[in-house]
Structure 1
Amino acid sequence: VYDRASIQTAARDLLNLKNVGRILYAVKANDNVDLLRTLAAEDIGFECVSPGEVEWLEKAIPDLDLGRLLFTPNFAPRQEYEWGLDKGLQVTLDNLYPLQAWPEVFKGQDLFIRLDPGQGRGHHEHVKTAGVHSKFGVPLFEIDELIRLIDAAGANVIGIHAHSGSGVQDPDSWRAVAAILTEAAQRFPNVKTIDLGGGLGIPEKPGDKDFDLAELDQALSEIRDAFPHYELWLEPGRYLVARSGVLLTRVTQVKGKGDMRYIGVGAGMNALIRPALYGAYHEIVNLSKSGEPATDTVTVVGPICETGDRLGSDRLLPSSEENDVILIANTGAYGFVMSSNYNRRAVTTEIVI
């Protein structure tokens, strides 16, 4: 279940950043048509990683301005880059290989280049998207070769891009990345845009603080003051939509096993894979026992035949029973969009209110 108003609020908060010229929504976070239309109506642009995402957007928003879209495939076949350029999309390269193997594809083209700032950030190793152990981006030590290949291909770099990871709570991280990118951008005389990526963290647990957007804006003001000729972009995904969504499911069974107590629910890792994939924390509430004391330490599991099918471990919940309604929070991002029919289980239903 998604709350449209919370998405609108998050979008407007980001659009109020004085030192950011454009906000792009990472479509991979949630491609629900109603949510995409809501974001477009708020003047949010889009970042897509595949032709399928672009085509899905075009169907959802027939009057979509493709100039508000950034196309950022990685390790994609030659045909995807040709497709994007033929369509007039702003295309990002994050590897030397396309320039080495297919230089003719990029002749005369304006490109964004994704650089690897050297250090990944985030709440789990699988969401850190910088450093030599991450597949993304051209490392800084390859910039000389990148420039040679760009010149040989007859291409033109107009934007520098990076994304260090997800769930980052320190606003100063973006200032640090911006400092690296603006220094690198000076090697490319036609660069107009510095895209700092996404990854803005959200409160995950009770008591967590909101991400400090004012502090982020202040940090980026230093970069804008030093480099006023560059426009700064952000491309958040979770920040815009995660808090808008909750997963509702029912208790199917309860089980005691030694000193362990399990609560089984109808939705498992087929509906929400983030806990299994990233070790992600999602707050879990028994709505049917709202107001009752949380006395039981339980592990909440789904119906999938995998030991990793755990939605939450060692959680304090009221005594729960079959058919109780369970709410799992912050599932508006990387929830339904990553769901599957594994074990031939039905996917969940999406509702926007």
Structure 2
Amino acid sequence: MHHFDYRDNRLHAEDVDIAALANKIGTPFYIYSEATFRRHVKVFSNAFSGTDALVAYSVKANSNLAVLRILASEGTGADVVSAGELARALHAGIPADKIVFSGVGKTTEEMEAALNAGIYQFNVESAPELEALDKVAGELKKHAPVAIRVNPDVAAGGHDKISTGRKEDKFGVAWGSARALYARARELENIEVKGVDLHIGSQIADLAPFEAAFKKAAGLIADLREDGCRIERLDLGGGLGIPYGAGEIPPHPDDYAQLIKRVTAPLDVQLIFEPGRMIAGNAGLLVTKLVYVKEGEARKFMIVDAGMNDLIRPALYDAHHDIIPVTRDLDAKNDRYDVVGPVCESSDFIAKARTLPDMKPGEFMAIMSAGAYGASQSSQYNSRPLIPEILVNGDEYAIIRRRPTFDEMTALERYPEWMG
């Protein structure tokens, strides 16, 4: 559920008229519903009521400080994958003891920052990382709380590029090597083994892969305890899909929770979750303006002012996003269009061969389900400025990231002295 709907055929974000806002601030822009963020956090958290669970929002999904502040006020933690995300989470008020640091390429500088902050857990992804973390922790005279991410070799995810739990993926420790690495971790003076971690992919629309992976994790915990490891935590990652449209009906968090409770009940562990898309995805839209309608020999094109630098998911993942007019004409005829942007790349598209109502240049359209992996993956390619992010709360709105000027875009660049 989200808080975007038509009123008198004009699309609103909560109580804000999107067309009026677009005319005021210009397009393209992202717009988020605070009520939707809060609702999604509650739906997920309530599904695990009665269990010892930490919900650590995946910051990479949407890392805007205002969004993180909303989630902090709801009591969530954070899953971070860089020193920058760690700094954002702390700045927004998420306590360090609710922060989990994931990612395959942690640098020693990032480890030091996380140890000094006092984070809850490192999710270690390799033997070299474990050794490096032990060394950094020793130099700081600290102990690093650790879960080792294991790769269960379970295929899942809505696209090849977002599947992370297969043996050919870069993430995690090979299943057959896990017990040996845990044994090594127990030998290291500055490492505290706390748990097991796994994450098998993103936009997963079927509970079966989750069940297969989680059962393997439960078996591993039993084996590790026999080896003498004190396993207190089980980090199950994220990955639960959302309805992007096109008939997708992913599992409800309640059904996901029932599966997990059934599998993990005998383990007596704290559960850690890293949802991102499920919380942020349908809390945001990308609003864009139709610039031209172009008749090609084989296709008709709607050329809009949002490009792949603003929303890269269709080009990167062949992702589907529903597209709707901001001002609806119930009598409009439909036709098939490619919706494309102004970036100088053939891969710059939002949709291909999509049946849409006829629209005129200057009218606005909304790209749905763009709250996750939209603004956070955007760039200034083609020297196009990052677009605004707008947060709505009832009938109020605030610009939580403004569009930079050209001088701001180039502020870090310098001519070398020999150019005069």
Asked if Structure 1 and Structure 2 have the same fold, meaning a TM-score greater than 0.5 normalized by the shorter chain, the answer is yes
Partner of 2:54: 22
- Aligned equivalent of 2:125: 94
Is 1:105 the equivalent of 2:144?
Answer: no
Which segment is superposed worse, 96-105 or 34-43? 96-105
Tell me the distance in 1 between the aligned counterparts of 2:248 and 2:217: 30
User: Residue type matched to 1:237 in 2?
Assistant: G
Taking structure 1 as the reference length, the TM-score comes to 0.94
CA distance change for structure 1 residues 120 and 175 in 2, over 3 Å: closer, same or farther? same
- Kept in 1: contact 2:290–2:365 (CA 8 A): yes
Question: 1:54, 1:102 → 2: CA distance?
Answer: 17
**Cα distance, 1:260 vs structure 2:** 0.4
Using the alignment, how far apart are the partners of 1:190 and 1:16 within structure 2? 28
In the alignment, which residue of structure 2 is the partner of 1:195?
Answer: 235
Pick from 314, 320, 324 the counterpart of residue 281 of structure 1: 320
Q: Deviations over 1:288-326 (max 9, x none)?
A: 344234521000000000000010011111112211101
Question: Aligned residue for 2:200?
Answer: 164
User: What per-residue deviation string (whole Å, max 9, x for no partner) do you get for residues 137-184 of structure 1?
Assistant: 011111243034213323331021111001111234333222111221
Contact 2:154 2:209 in 1 (8 A): no
Q: How many residues align?
A: 350
Counterpart of 1:139 (choices 150, 168, 174) is 174
Equivalent in 218, 231, 235 of residue 274 of structure 2: 235
Residue-by-residue CA offset, 1:251-288 (whole Å, 9 max, x unaligned): 01111111200100000101100000111100011223
Q: Are 1:99 and 1:149, in contact at CA under 8 Å, matched by a contact in 2?
A: no
Contact 1:301 1:309 in 2 (8 A): yes
CA contact (8 A) 1:251 1:263 kept: yes
Which residue is equivalent to 2:156? 121
Q: Kindly state the Cα deviation for residue 36 of structure 1 after the two structures are TM-superposed.
A: 0.9
CA contact (8 A) 2:122 2:146 kept: yes
**CA spacing shift, 1:254–1:28, aligned 2, 3 Å:** same
Identical columns (%): 30
1:33 lines up with 2:65 in the alignment: yes
Q: How far is the alpha carbon of 1:106 from its aligned partner?
A: 5.1
Match of 2:219 in 1: 183
Structure 2 residue 339 is the aligned partner of structure 1 residue 308: no
CA contact (8 A) 1:106 1:153 kept: no
CA distance in 2 between counterparts of 1:204 and 1:286 reads: 16
Question: Cα distance 1:135–1:146, how it changes in 2: closer, same or farther (>3 A)?
Answer: same
| Alpha-carbon separation, structure 2, partners of 1:216 and 1:263 | 39
Which has the higher mean CA deviation after the structures are superposed, 165-174 or 268-277?
165-174
Aligned-partner Cα distance in 2 for 1:96–1:201: 31
Residue 209 of structure 1 is matched in structure 2 by 249
Give the 3-state SS of the residue equivalent to 1:67 in structure 2.
Answer: helix
Aligned to 2:6: none
- The root-mean-square deviation of aligned C-alpha atoms, in Å, is 1.8
User: Whole-Å Cα distance in 2 between the matches of residues 343 and 202 of structure 1?
Assistant: 31
Q: Which runs of 5+ in 1 are unaligned?
A: none
Question: Contact between 2:339 and 2:351, CA under 8 Å: does it hold in 1?
Answer: yes
SS of 1:178 mapped into structure 2: helix
Distance 2:92 2:179 in 1: 41
**Offset of residue 328 of structure 1:** 0.2
Gap change, CA 1:248 and 1:226, over 3 Å in 2? same
In structure 2, C-alpha distance between the alignment counterparts of 1:88 and 1:195, rounded to whole Å: 18
Q: Deviations over 1:22-61 (max 9, x none)?
A: 2110000001122111111111111111111111222222
Seen in structure 2, the aligned counterparts of structure 1 residues 216 and 172 have a Cα distance that, compared at 3 Å, is: farther
Which residue of structure 2 aligns with residue 352 of structure 1? Answer: 391
- What are the Cα deviations for residues 326-345 of structure 1, in whole angstroms up to 9, with x where unaligned? 11000000101111110011
Q: Is the 8 A contact 2:206 2:250 kept in 1?
A: no
Identify if the C-alpha distance between structure 1 residues 316 and 214 changes in structure 2 by more than 3 Å, giving closer, same or farther: same
Computing the radius of gyration from Cα coordinates, the structure with the larger value is 2
AA aligned to 1:218 is Q
Q: Distance in 2 between matches of 1:114 and 1:144?
A: 12
Structure 1 range deviating more: 197-206 or 262-271: 197-206
C-alpha distance after superposition, 1:231-258 (max 9, x if no partner): 2221110000110100001001111111
Q: Is the 8 A contact 1:156 1:190 kept in 2?
A: no
Query: 2 CA distance for matches of 1:270 and 1:307?
Result: 13
- TM-score, normalization by structure 2: 0.79
Give the letter for the 1:225 counterpart: A
Counterpart pick for 1:332 among 349, 356, 371: 371
Summarize the Cα distance change of 1:106–1:180 in structure 2 as closer, same or farther, 3 Å threshold: farther
Q: Is the 8 A contact 1:341 1:347 kept in 2?
A: yes
Corresponding residue SS for 1:98: helix
Specify the code of the residue in structure 2 equivalent to 1:48: V
The answer as to whether partners of 2:284 and 2:372 remain within 8 angstroms in 1 is yes
